[in-house]
Structure 1
Amino acid sequence: MQKKQKANLALAISAAGFLGTLPAGGFFGGLLHHGFLAATVGGLADWFAVTAIFSKPLGISYRTDILRRNRQRIMDALVMFASDDLLSVKNIMQVVRRQDVAQLLVAYLEHRGGRERLVETVDHVAVRAVNTLDSAKVAGEIEIILKDGLRTIPIERVAMEGLQILAEEQYSCHLIKALAEIAQRVLASPVLREMLKENVSLLRQKYEGDSAGRALMLSSLGLTDERIAQIICERMEEKLGEVIAGETPNYAAAKAGLETLLRRLGQDPSLLAALQAWKTGFLRQVSLLPLLVQWIDAHVKGEQPFWLAALETFLNEKIDAFVQSRPWQRRVDAFFKNLLEEELTKHHAVIPDLIRERLGEFSDDALVAMVESKVQDDLQMIRINGALVGSLVGMGLFILVTLAERMW
């Protein structure tokens, strides 16, 4: 049974008891009669008081319908209580500081799928941010940085020092053999042999000229264009073979000549100036922009760029470090709490505005209905208690009056 029905029942019983005991005589009859009378008076008074909060009992408008009449004052009091007391920065932070925010974060990351959600979110944001970049603009910035970096690198001096290093014994022997092996492969190529044959033919024509004797002599010796080119290649291969084999006069002479050439080149100011001029001109003329734009579009952008795996690895490593590091957790806990306190202090005025806005959404009837639904049970208990206390007071007064009459 609802408390309102119980309160009404208590009032009805009190009124019925009062009427029923009117003709009763004697001490006990009078005691019951006055008890029921006082209970009825108390119940009616409390009913009037409770009803006056929400409406006009018996149509009486004087100091009744309290909620509607004093809505603004009540709302201001509620807003002030909620914002300045219940939801004050101090009270909120007292509750928050009792919590270990870092441990809550660790539990979320480790046991509630937080790690996967965090990595997925960061991946999505990073990929989307990169894909919205202007490739040409980014490439232009990178090109400037690269060219500035290349200008500061003394490439020409590095090249000159490299030539002098190659002139040293431990490097020159390997270099000359490598050059000889390259020359052997070039000599073995059909293209070179064909070019050599064509040049031999031109030289032969110039040599023979209008002399039939020279032509006859070369023919009698079997020195055709092909044969002469073959002899030249064989002799060159023989010399190159001696160079590769090493420890021969030809090898020693070639090695000494190469070392001398490398040392002179490594100390030649004109070569240094030429390299500097070439680097300056090359950096001025060359455009890295198309290559950089193509590289950015192909490798940096897209749904699965090359850097995404590295980003995920980095995030997982940092999460593992956070989970295992208690000092780090304490710093994070303090950071979040201090940040929350700063933001609450800065924006605390928003709380009363939100409460006032929410209360303003209620009409008078809706506000009365809401408040009544929240406190109705407690108010009905006041009515019930009023009837009970009234009956006890009424019977007590009857006893006192009866005793006083008998004493006087």
Structure 2
Amino acid sequence: MTGAIIDDSHGPMKDASPPPPSLAAAAPDAADTERQRADLRRHRMAATGLLVAMGGVFAGSHALPGQGTYWMGLLQAGTEAALVGGLADWFAVTALFRRPLGLPIPHTALIPSNQDRIARRLGAFVTRYFLAPEILQERLRTLEVAGRAGAWLASGDNPRRLAGRIADLLPALLDAAGDERLRALVARGLTARLRQTDVAPLLGRLLAAIPDEEYGTLLTQAVTLAREQLVRNEDRIHAIVTERSAWWLPKAVDRRVARALIGAAFELLDDLEDPDNEVRRRFADTLRDFRARLTDDPDLHARLRAVKNRALDHPQVQDALSRVWDEIRRALTESAGRRDGRLRAGLTEALRGLGDRLLADADLRQAVDSRIEAAVMKGLVPWRDQIGGFIEDVVRKWDTRTLTERLELTVGRDLQFIRINGTLVGALVGCVLYVLVEALS
């Protein structure tokens, strides 16, 4: 009976939380249920037909001639015992699921009357015999999860199919995780990583990778870009000078000051663009000296680090870092939607490679199995009482009539064989007892 309860519990436990109050969701399809019902009716009719036949023979034997003879007595004793055994087993089987003949006989309708106790005992049974630490540990060690997973991943088309499943689920997983949380998580991760990164050595290696003769070309391009920006922002420079000058100065003076500043800036840019100009040579020397200091000047390192951290704290920089997740998500979603995309191909190769490594490396298999065992023992064992309580709560909330019907359909056919065996064994015992009494009298 416990086995039947455990089998039927799979349906409700797979449904969404909270647990359903009825077992209806766990019922198999209608065709399977109808087949079970027909099978139960057929075996019930066989058991009842045998019992009725024994009753008919017993009643008819008293109307036959030859009353009191040895063989008639043997027939009557056997059929009488068959009736007793068959009726007793009919009562016992019926009492499991309902009250026989609807009579309020004590200790009948055992399953409906004891649903709470069944739920409690089932929860305790799973907790004690399925979730005990020593049982879980032994079972996990015999499973060899890493070896089986490696063999599966390394065989046939399994990696490609699994990669396809992961890619198909990826958009839904990204939606479930929530953009705001992931955006903030990516921004925090990038910020923390950038704070830990010392930019001075990186900048030094970058500048060292540029040949000295290329500095002139780069400086010329920078001067051209600066000149374009000055031309484009002349009006803005005039406006800034006007805003920051004293209120009593005439606007004509402001315009002359702005033109002077712009002119001085153009003169400086012209000097920097001239290869023979002293300003350009000094700038190049300063740049080379700066490149050397990037390697071994701790004060410069500290200043650059402070500038970097101030820049990272700026709201616009943080906003730009948070938008990185949007680009990552867009790329992942687009690639996941393509059947021949890079994401699926990369996942396939990674999964196949993982399977090959697990098969080839015994130490890796042992390490993975140890991690799995530790995770299960740490994550499952402390919750064993709660899991047992969950099972108890689910079974207790099942609809009693549906539970009884499902159990009867599951084990009812076998119980009818008990009735048949009880009738036949009763007949055999009755005949044996009659023979013994006759032999001893």
TM-score normalized with structure 1 length: 0.54
Distance in 2 separating the partners of 1:355 and 1:147: 51
Q: Which residue of 2 aligns with 1:347?
A: 383
Distance in 1 separating the partners of 2:197 and 2:411: 77
Give yes or no for contact 2:112–2:404 (8 Å, CA) kept in 1.
yes
* Structure possessing the higher radius of gyration over alpha carbons: 1
Q: Which residue of 2 aligns with 1:323?
A: 355
Q: Which residue of 1 aligns with 2:81?
A: 38
Q: Which residue of 1 aligns with 2:118?
A: 74
Q: Which residue of 2 aligns with 1:51?
A: 94
Q: Which residue of 2 aligns with 1:248?
A: none
Residue deviations 1:208-247, cap 9 Å, x none?
A: xxxxxxxxxxxxxxxxxxxxxxxxxxxxxxxxxxxxxxxx
Correspondences of 1:256-335 after superposition (within 5 Å): 301=327, 303-304=330-331, 322-325=354-357, 326=361, 327-335=363-371
Residue 19 of structure 1, CA deviation: 0.7
1:311/1:115 CA distance change after superposition, 3 Å: closer
Residue 15 of structure 1, CA deviation: 0.2
More deviation, 359-368/331-340: 359-368
Distance in 2 separating the partners of 1:383 and 1:370: 20
Distance in 2 separating the partners of 1:47 and 1:93: 44
Q: Which residue of 2 aligns with 1:270?
A: none
Residue 14 of structure 1, CA deviation: 0.7
Identity of aligned residues (%): 24
1:128/1:301 CA distance change after superposition, 3 Å: farther
Q: Which residue of 1 aligns with 2:55?
A: 15
Residue deviations 1:138-185, cap 9 Å, x none?
A: 799599959974499999xx99xxxxxxxxxxx9xx9xxx9xxx9xxx
Residue deviations 1:300-334, cap 9 Å, x none?
A: 935349xx999999978865664343122331122
Distance in 1 separating the partners of 2:84 and 2:189: 91
1:314/1:115 CA distance change after superposition, 3 Å: closer
Give yes or no for contact 1:50–1:379 (8 Å, CA) kept in 2.
yes
> Can you give the 5+ residue segments of structure 2 that lack an aligned partner in the other structure?
1-38, 221-280, 290-298, 336-340
Residue 392 of structure 1, CA deviation: 1.2
Distance in 1 separating the partners of 2:46 and 2:377: 48
Distance in 2 separating the partners of 1:99 and 1:143: 40
- Give 2:399's match in structure 1, choosing from 363, 388, 396: 363
Q: Which residue of 2 aligns with 1:114?
A: 162
TM-score normalized with structure 2 length: 0.51
Residue deviations 1:21-75, cap 9 Å, x none?
A: 1134321121111111111111112212222222222343232222333333333
Residue 95 of structure 1, CA deviation: 3.6
Residue 367 of structure 1, CA deviation: 2.8
Q: Which residue of 2 aligns with 1:402?
A: 438
1:68/1:293 CA distance change after superposition, 3 Å: closer
What amino acid maps onto 1:15 in structure 2? G
More deviation, 316-325/5-14: 316-325
Say what the alpha-carbon RMSD is for the aligned residues.
5.2
1:316/1:129 CA distance change after superposition, 3 Å: farther
More deviation, 100-109/141-150: 141-150
Q: Which residue of 2 aligns with 1:393?
A: 429
Secondary structure at the aligned position of 2:143 is classed as coil
Give yes or no for contact 1:36–1:391 (8 Å, CA) kept in 2.
yes
Distance in 2 separating the partners of 1:70 and 1:134: 53
1:395/1:333 CA distance change after superposition, 3 Å: same
Give yes or no for contact 1:89–1:344 (8 Å, CA) kept in 2.
no
Secondary structure at the aligned position of 1:98 is classed as helix
Distance in 2 separating the partners of 1:142 and 1:72: 54
Residue 387 of structure 1, CA deviation: 1.0
Correspondences of 1:51-200 after superposition (within 5 Å): 51-63=94-106, 64-86=108-130, 88-107=132-151, 109-110=153-154, 111-112=157-158, 113-115=161-163, 133=183, 145=195, 149-150=199-200
1:313/1:115 CA distance change after superposition, 3 Å: closer
What amino acid maps onto 1:323 in structure 2? G
1:13/1:304 CA distance change after superposition, 3 Å: closer
- Give 2:70's match in structure 1, choosing from 27, 49, 53: 27
Give yes or no for contact 2:151–2:355 (8 Å, CA) kept in 1.
no
Distance in 2 separating the partners of 1:366 and 1:59: 18
Secondary structure at the aligned position of 2:380 is classed as helix
Distance in 2 separating the partners of 1:154 and 1:145: 18
Give yes or no for contact 2:80–2:430 (8 Å, CA) kept in 1.
yes
What amino acid maps onto 1:374 in structure 2? T
User: How many aligned positions are there?
Assistant: 294
Distance in 1 separating the partners of 2:70 and 2:325: 105
Give yes or no for contact 1:322–1:328 (8 Å, CA) kept in 2.
no
